[in-house]
Structure 1
Amino acid sequence: MRKPLRTLTGLFTNMQIRRKLLISYFILIFLPLALMTSFSYKNVSRDYEKQILHSADQSFDQAFTFLSYKLNTLIKASDVIYFNADVQTMLTRDEHAFGDDYVQQNIDRQKLESFLSSFQNAEDVYRASLYVPGWLMYAGQNFNFFDMDAFSRTKSYEALLASKDKVSWLPEHAIANNNTNLDPVPVISLLRKIRNSEQTTEIIGIIELNIRKDIVDEILQKANITNDGVVYIQNSNGAIVSCSNMDNYHRISPDPALIQDTRNALDTGDAGMSWNNATIGSGEHVVKTRAIENTDWTMVTAIPVSEIFRQSIRIRDLMLVLMLVCGLLSYGLAYLITGATVKRILLLKKKMRLVQEGVLNVEVQSAIPDEIGELADSFNHMVKRIRLLVQEQYQNGKEIKNLELKALQAQINPHFLYNTLEMINWKAIDNDVPDIAVISQSLAKFYKLSLNKGKDIVAVEDEINHIRAYVQIQNLRFDNKIKLDVRVAPELYACDILKLILQPLVENAIIHGILEARNSQEGTITVTGRLERGEIVLTVRDDGVGMPSEQAESLLAGGIADPDVQGYGIRNIDHRIKLCYGQEYGLAYRSSPGDGTEVEIRIPNRFR
């Protein structure tokens, strides 16, 4: 117990100040609301349960009484028919004496039809019929009269004979409509055996009284006061006689055994007047059952417990919504209140993170001279100091690189000038040809573009002309072994670029690529240029000897220690580009032995 408590205490202690305050406010607001909601829900649910069960009880009893009245009306009508002397006389006539007496049979039929019609009305007895001996001429009428001989071969007749009850009941079936032009009518039928009054063992006919099923259904529908509950009548075989809502019945799917205890209670004098809890399907229900006298029917009502508590659940949900609204309002107020305290701390924290990510152009405005204000002033002073130090370091690094460049130029230019002048000297002595003029012009152009009046930024076009003059001079030296192929898009010519970027790369391609690969054959240097997503991409490719990929990577990583070889000048160019344009720009090498070398230069697109 102590360990979890210690863990929670540690978590709360390490939380931010605003979270601590918000959690405290939530506890103080939601705890009383939760207790009030729980107390209210219990009281309301208990009262509402009593109210809905009382209403359901009254509706159930009223429907039971009315239904019993309807059924007793049919039973009393069957008594009148059963004990009627004319019925006894007509059904006990001798077949030999009256089998061919169609006049008397017709008189009997008319008299019985009139007698049966007197019982028929739309509300109680929809139709009264008799099953008569098959030899009678009107036995096959199939409206008020039916052939008892044919009926005796059915299971319904066998069940009627086996029953010891006064009457038997047939489940739902359809009979012809009293108005022959309309569809058949679903009915529930009462069957009763008519015995010979002089010889009671002899069955001389059967009474069938029909009540419309929709009348019974309507009675049950009025008894069902809930939306998801169901009231239904079930016979002793488990068949449904009538139901208030078949969709609800199938959804609830009650067990037919629910009524068994009610039938047993009826035999002991207890009619099943109370509500019982039962698990039906996957839900809890309250169930009430009651057996209907003179039938094998049981009237059952089942109400989901969830529907009984639905109103109280609505109140509970309303309370929960109220809790949520209060919580949100309190959270908003707490957020505003705590915001006044911690807003400046969060701002200072945000600015510190920006400095941590390398953004130094930040400042915290604070007009309140409290502890947080003093922290903000100290932070501003510290950031300014760091910014000055970074700028100072940047300027120092830039000056160092410029000095390195000038030192490189001081080393390269005299050496190149010496070789060129020596070549001019030998041309003049040995050949006495006008090539001397070409060499002199190319050399003049080369130095003019190299110096550029002391400016570090030149146009791409000037840089291209610079390498052309350089290659022309080298071709005079190496007997035109070098071919320069320039494929730079014309729209790049006016763009700005650092000077002396391409010439060292072209020089490396000649000395360390083409001349090392071929002693007598020609070599090609291809210079391309394109715009790519707002950036200038220049490539210098040669078809010389190439080098392993590890060696190409080491050129920019400082793997070559000798400052006289190509790595020094390449790293110098890369550092200059990064200092001028940013760390995301610079050189990239791709090479493999025998396939030549390609250098990619990537700088931002800038125009003069």
Structure 2
Amino acid sequence: MKFIRKCKLFYLYDMKMEYKLLLSHLTLSVLAILLLTTLLYTNSAGILERKLLNSAEATSEKIILSLENIIQKYDNMTYSFSMMETVTDIYSHPGPDYDYSSIRKDRTDFENAMFSCIPVQIRNSVPDCDIRVYFQDSFPYFNNASRYFTYSSIEEEDWFKRVYSTYRQNRSSFFILSSQELSGEKSEDTPYMSIARVMPDKNYYPSPLAILRLDFPESYLNEAINPNNFDNALTFLVSDETNRLVSLSSASTESLYRELTLSRPVPDSDTLDSWHRYRLDGTDYFVIRQTLPSYPLTLITMLPSKSLLSEYYLHRNFTFLIGGILLVFCLFLSTVLAKTMSGRIIRLTSRMKQVKKGELISLPSSIIQGKDEIGELTSTYNYMIHAMEDLIEKEYLLGQETKNAELKILQAQINPHFLYNTLDMIQWFAEEGMLSQIEESVSSLATFYRLSLSNGKEFISLREEMEHVRSYIRLQKLRFPDTFLYEEELDEGLLDYLLPKTTLQPLVENAITHGLQESKRIPGHLLIKIEKEEGKNIRISILDDGAGMKNPPRTTPNGGTSRENSGHGFGIPNVSSRLTLLYGPGYGVVFEQNIPEGTIAIVRIPIPESV
């Protein structure tokens, strides 16, 4: 227990002051918001479920009322037509003397009467609406297999058998026919349904004179029962007489209706009495059945439980949003208070971290407020920064003077080293009596020192440095004829950049003396390449295929090179040290193994940014 308490104390000690203040301010606010959100989440689901089911039931009742009006409209129209005296009089005309002119007149009167009961505007409101009339076989005069048909042409159809038999049994004269009952008649892809009206014979009721059928697309009634104000709600209109689907809001849900007819409701005491819960195809549904008052039809409404609770989820998310806004507001207010209390400490700590990185930045005078302990710390910090800046400036000036002196000493070491080697070579020519070689050597040596002195300039162009190297190579070829071949691969666009003079000659001397001359291969090869690297560097490579370097100079901490019994003299370390002093770490001389034999000396210098 003590160990746990100790760990908690260490954790609090390590926590920043701003976070401690935020934690203390936010604890009560967060607890209150979480408690309120939990209560709303657990108690509002049932209330909203009942509210939404009542709303869905009211919507279904409106759909039933709308269906009643639609069907009543067609019921009244077909009834008024079937009872018109003009129509019944026409049926009494057939006889042996019924000629063609009488048939044409009666057909015209019949259609005028029919269309007077079914107005044009109503027929046009339903696309592809069609009217058909079926007569007894004793009245064949209107039969044209287009609008007028005889009973014998449809006596095998299921719908005709049902209409005819039902009328004879109970004198029902109005029928709603589903697309399933009419599936064998039309070949069109569009499903359709019909309203049928039996036209009775006033003299002998058991035998109807004709049957009027009004056909219209099934989608017309499907749209009428679609509950647009409920997402994912499904509706089915079922005939009580045949238990067949008359209409449905979505054609893809017919299989779901079949599963419903074979299922039993799930016991649910919380659901309203008029609603029942079913589990169909792995999904819970709320189902209600409502019967049309005037017609043998039942409307079945199904609501997926997930869709039913979408409004609840919206309400819950709104509650969470309000809670989140309150939480953000509390966080903002707590942050302002915490920063007001701890702002000066945070600024002082931040500047101290910058001092660790080498950035000496004092605090503005506007931040130094108050005479408390924090104000004293801030004033002392600024005093320390100003004192350190003065000390660093003095050290920098002293370092610049030391650096210039070191450069001059290093360059003075290089020139005597080369002069010694060259005079040794000329002495050897003199001993051998090689006068023409002595003359060429002296000329090349004069060119070499003319470029080496360069009128006192410390920096010369790469073009002049290459001429300096060529004069040295001519001297070496005079001393060791036919021992090596020399090549150049130069980027002409880089030859006007400057570098410290006498940079490349010691490296070329090293390649010839300790590489090519110690190799058994004759002639050897010497190659100088000048190219631009990625970024802003110039790469100068001196390649030889000589004996290679058994103990290559290694890079020192200051970017120069050191040697241990390598026998390469002090020219190479001096060159690398000069470049590192001038350009900084990352620049100087490095060595790599040439493949298959030999050494590569690589010099890197930066391209000036102003170029």
Alignment TM class, shorter chain as reference? 0.5 to 0.7
Question: Structure 2: how far apart are the matches of 1:601 and 1:477?
Answer: 27
Q: Displacement of 1:474 after TM fit?
A: 3.4
Q: Displacement of 1:506 after TM fit?
A: 1.5
Aligned pairs for 1:204-353 within 5 A: 207-208=211-212, 210=214, 217=221, 220=224, 226=230, 229=233, 231-235=235-239, 239-243=244-248, 246-247=249-250, 250=252, 254-256=256-258, 258=260, 274-278=274-278, 285-292=285-292, 297-303=297-303, 316-340=316-340
Residue deviations 1:72-97, cap 9 Å, x none? 7589879979xx9x989979x9xxxx
Alpha carbons of structure 1 residues 190 and 32: separation in structure 2 relative to 1, 3 Å? farther
Identify the residue that residue 151 of structure 1 maps to in structure 2.
154
Identify the residue that residue 536 of structure 1 maps to in structure 2.
538
Residue deviations 1:544-572, cap 9 Å, x none? 42427xx4766558795205x12754344
Q: Alignment partner for residue 562 of structure 1, among 560, 565, 573?
A: 565
Matched, 1:412 2:410: no
In structure 1, the residue corresponding to 2:427 is in which secondary structure?
A: helix
Matched, 1:545 2:552: no
Matched, 1:188 2:188: no
Identify the residue that residue 428 of structure 2 maps to in structure 1.
423
In structure 1, the residue corresponding to 2:469 is in which secondary structure?
A: helix
Amino acid of the residue matched to residue 276 of structure 1? H
Alpha carbons of structure 1 residues 377 and 161: separation in structure 2 relative to 1, 3 Å? same
Amino acid of the residue matched to residue 573 of structure 1? V
Amino acid of the residue matched to residue 423 of structure 1? W
Q: Displacement of 1:507 after TM fit?
A: 1.2
Residue deviations 1:84-117, cap 9 Å, x none? 9x989979x9xxxx974647x9799799959985
Alpha carbons of structure 1 residues 134 and 363: separation in structure 2 relative to 1, 3 Å? same
Contact 1:45/1:312, CA 8 A, preserved across alignment: yes
In structure 2, the residue corresponding to 1:363 is in which secondary structure?
A: coil
Alpha carbons of structure 1 residues 333 and 457: separation in structure 2 relative to 1, 3 Å? farther
Q: Displacement of 1:581 after TM fit?
A: 1.0
Q: Displacement of 1:241 after TM fit?
A: 2.3
Contact 1:120/1:128, CA 8 A, preserved across alignment: no
Identify the residue that residue 358 of structure 2 maps to in structure 1.
360
Aligned pairs for 1:581-592 within 5 A: 581-592=583-594
Matched, 1:501 2:508: no
Q: Displacement of 1:312 after TM fit?
A: 5.8
Contact 1:131/1:145, CA 8 A, preserved across alignment: yes
Amino acid of the residue matched to residue 577 of structure 1? L
Does 387-396 or 27-36 show the bigger shift?
Answer: 387-396
Aligned pairs for 1:479-498 within 5 A: 479=481, 488=490, 492=494, 495-498=497-500
Q: Displacement of 1:338 after TM fit?
A: 4.0
Contact 2:131/2:215, CA 8 A, preserved across alignment: no
Identify the residue that residue 143 of structure 2 maps to in structure 1.
140
Identify the residue that residue 170 of structure 1 maps to in structure 2.
177
Contact 2:176/2:194, CA 8 A, preserved across alignment: yes
Contact 1:194/1:203, CA 8 A, preserved across alignment: yes
Q: Displacement of 1:233 after TM fit?
A: 1.7
Contact 2:278/2:285, CA 8 A, preserved across alignment: yes
Does 296-305 or 399-408 show the bigger shift?
Answer: 399-408
Amino acid of the residue matched to residue 188 of structure 1? S
Residue deviations 1:302-354, cap 9 Å, x none? 45566666666555555444444444455455445444555666656666666
Q: Alignment partner for residue 478 of structure 1, among 464, 477, 480?
A: 480
Alpha carbons of structure 1 residues 38 and 253: separation in structure 2 relative to 1, 3 Å? farther
Alpha carbons of structure 1 residues 334 and 397: separation in structure 2 relative to 1, 3 Å? farther
Q: Displacement of 1:140 after TM fit?
A: 2.4
Question: Structure 1: how far apart are the matches of 2:421 and 2:481?
Answer: 17
In structure 1, the residue corresponding to 2:177 is in which secondary structure?
A: strand
Q: Displacement of 1:598 after TM fit?
A: 3.1
Alpha carbons of structure 1 residues 509 and 190: separation in structure 2 relative to 1, 3 Å? same
Residue deviations 1:215-270, cap 9 Å, x none? 98399459865465455422255644245xx45x64797524657899xxxxxxxx
Amino acid of the residue matched to residue 178 of structure 2? P
Contact 1:131/1:139, CA 8 A, preserved across alignment: no
Question: Structure 2: how far apart are the matches of 1:222 and 1:414?
Answer: 107
In structure 2, the residue corresponding to 1:516 is in which secondary structure?
A: coil
Question: Structure 2: how far apart are the matches of 1:117 and 1:108?
Answer: 14
Aligned pairs for 1:43-192 within 5 A: 45=48, 48-49=51-52, 52-53=55-56, 55-56=58-59, 58-60=61-63, 62-63=65-66, 66=69, 100=96, 102=98, 120-122=117-119, 131-138=134-141, 140=143, 146-160=149-163, 167=172, 169-171=176-178, 188-190=194-196
In structure 2, the residue corresponding to 1:517 is in which secondary structure?
A: coil
Question: Structure 2: how far apart are the matches of 1:215 and 1:505?
Answer: 94
Amino acid of the residue matched to residue 235 of structure 1? S
Question: Structure 2: how far apart are the matches of 1:471 and 1:36?
Answer: 91
Amino acid of the residue matched to residue 540 of structure 1? I
Does 313-322 or 502-511 show the bigger shift?
Answer: 313-322
Q: Displacement of 1:578 after TM fit?
A: 2.1
Question: Structure 1: how far apart are the matches of 2:391 and 2:466?
Answer: 41
Alpha carbons of structure 1 residues 290 and 404: separation in structure 2 relative to 1, 3 Å? same
Identify the residue that residue 573 of structure 1 maps to in structure 2.
575
Question: Structure 2: how far apart are the matches of 1:384 and 1:294?
Answer: 101
Does 288-297 or 6-15 show the bigger shift?
Answer: 6-15
Question: Structure 2: how far apart are the matches of 1:413 and 1:57?
Answer: 109
Q: Displacement of 1:59 after TM fit?
A: 2.0
Question: Structure 2: how far apart are the matches of 1:593 and 1:63?
Answer: 95
In structure 2, the residue corresponding to 1:255 is in which secondary structure?
A: helix
Question: Structure 1: how far apart are the matches of 2:15 and 2:74?
Answer: 76
Question: Structure 2: how far apart are the matches of 1:158 and 1:375?
Answer: 109
Residue deviations 1:142-171, cap 9 Å, x none? 688641222222233344567676545422
Residue deviations 1:28-65, cap 9 Å, x none? 55554555566668668368537624642652563465
Identify the residue that residue 126 of structure 2 maps to in structure 1.
none
Amino acid of the residue matched to residue 417 of structure 2? I
In structure 2, the residue corresponding to 1:288 is in which secondary structure?
A: strand
Question: Structure 1: how far apart are the matches of 2:494 and 2:142?
Answer: 114
Alpha carbons of structure 1 residues 554 and 17: separation in structure 2 relative to 1, 3 Å? same
In structure 1, the residue corresponding to 2:518 is in which secondary structure?
A: helix
In structure 2, the residue corresponding to 1:234 is in which secondary structure?
A: strand
What value does the CA root-mean-square deviation take over the aligned residues? 6.0
Q: Gaps spanning 5+ residues in structure 1: where? A: 176-183, 263-271
Alpha carbons of structure 1 residues 137 and 586: separation in structure 2 relative to 1, 3 Å? same
Q: Gaps spanning 5+ residues in structure 2: where? A: 124-128, 183-189, 265-271
In structure 1, the residue corresponding to 2:160 is in which secondary structure?
A: helix
Contact 1:64/1:299, CA 8 A, preserved across alignment: no
